[in-house]
Amino acid sequence: MLDSTPLDVMVVLADGVVGKAELTIALDVATRSICATVLRPMGTGSADAAILLAQIVTPMRMRPGWEKALAMSRSVIPYERLVSLDARLEGAAARPVIMPETVIVDQGRVFISASFTAACNSLGVSVQPAPPANGPAKGNVERTFLTIGHRFSQYVAGYTGSDVTQRGSNVEDEASWTLPQVQDLLDEWLVTDWQHRRHASLRHPLAPRLTVSPNEMWAALVGVTGYVPVLLREDDYVELMPVKRLGINDYGIRFDYHTYDHEVLNLHRGFKSTAGDGMWETHHNPYDPQRIWVRLPGGWEEVPWIHKERASLPFTDFTWRHIRATVERRGDRDEHEQQLAQALDRLLRRAGNGEGPAASGPSPRAPALRHRPPNPPAPAGAARPSPGPDPLLQLGRCLHPNRPR
């Protein structure tokens, strides 16, 4: 299921103005795994949804500063067997890689657009629109959004709450994170908490009292259905990206206040393409401005941003036996669960305090504006949103629901 919703966190946008972002996720219904996420300023486009598809079939890499407990090699996922089939999983985080056969979307223009449908067709994925005005048809993803709000968003500096009764009087002044930073925090939380937490809705019909986590369910289903890696060639990946028609000048290619240049452009500087408009087909990733791709006579060529080095950017009975075998391995994983709980606590504390990634230490507060001109200082005594229940206690109860409280 693919769907979008506003994230209840104020973020610092690229122009320094504080605003809200829109979250788009891909949820695998069978395992409840969140396979991909995209955060954008309000107004998700069809290009964002297409990029989501590429993320679904691509392993998530471990990021600098992440706890070692978040690696796929440390999870219940059968890492050794899978990495022998797909070398991309080496060094990956513990988030499943799932190739969907069908994606269920709402009737919004983003998901029924020609560009999104073309991206799905290029991967062999069918698109099934949900019935209009039918909330229960998307119940799984709607509940997922609520859980993200309760277990992640409320701990992030700049939390607005789902309505005005849950927020402070000057929440814009508390915004500390830029959009890419919130994306990194969310990705880390998904691996730390969501994928390892037992979900009440993940139960087997032969054992309705047994709950499993998304990673445990995926590990069990892989044992039944097998794993076939979908290796996107660079050309496939580029074709999913948004396209612009641009000229090649003496200084390179100028796009979105960035200049891109490389020696591969030398033979084409100042010349028109063979297309009717004379422009060159150029694809770009909105979430990675460090490079673009230009279709030259010899094929796609990657052209880097000239300042790249100066900036750091971001059931059957058979199935049941596999589930039981996965769950029985929990007895040896108490230490891993403790490490995950500690990692979650540190993550949520950083998110709430506006601190930078663990690897680089605290980062200065991002310069933020509500609007132009700059706002006056916030009045003294501005209320902060309630910190909510202790995250360690919540995670412990989810990991061990049958223990006395």
Integer Cα distance of 258 and 243 in angstroms:
16
Integer Cα distance of 367 and 163 in angstroms:
26
Spatial neighbors of 220 by CB under 8 A, at least 6 apart, are 212, 319, 322, 323, 325, 326
Buried/exposed 76-87: b ≥16 CB within 10 Å, e otherwise: bbbbeebbeebe
| pLDDT tens digits, 261-316 | 999 999 999 999 999 999 999 988 776 778 899 999 999 999 998 887 765 444 54
Which position has the token pair 């994928």?
195
Q: Taking Cα atoms as reference points, which of 148, 154, 193, 189 lies closest to residue 174?
A: 154
259: its two tokens: 């200049």
Integer Cα distance of 222 and 81 in angstroms:
11
Burial label for 307, CB within 10 Å (0-12, 13-18, 19+), is exposed
pLDDT at site 384: 46
Integer Cα distance of 18 and 174 in angstroms:
10
Which position has the token pair 């690897």?
359
Integer Cα distance of 221 and 32 in angstroms:
12
3-state secondary structure of 3: strand
Instruction: Spell out, as residue ranges, where the chain has pLDDT lower than 70.
Output: 44-47, 115, 135, 164-169, 204-206, 234, 287, 310-334, 336-338, 355-405
Integer Cα distance of 124 and 3 in angstroms:
20
3-state secondary structure of 11: strand
Integer Cα distance of 243 and 255 in angstroms:
11
pLDDT at site 333: 58
Integer Cα distance of 296 and 301 in angstroms:
7
Instruction: Name the packing angle between helices 46-56 and 114-123 (round to 10°).
Output: 20
* pTM of the complete model: 0.68
Asked whether the beta carbons of 32 and 202 are under 8 A apart, the reply is yes
103's enclosing H/E stretch is: strand 102-105
- Domains, the chain, with CATH or none: 2-233+319-399 (3.30.420.10), 235-310 (no CATH)
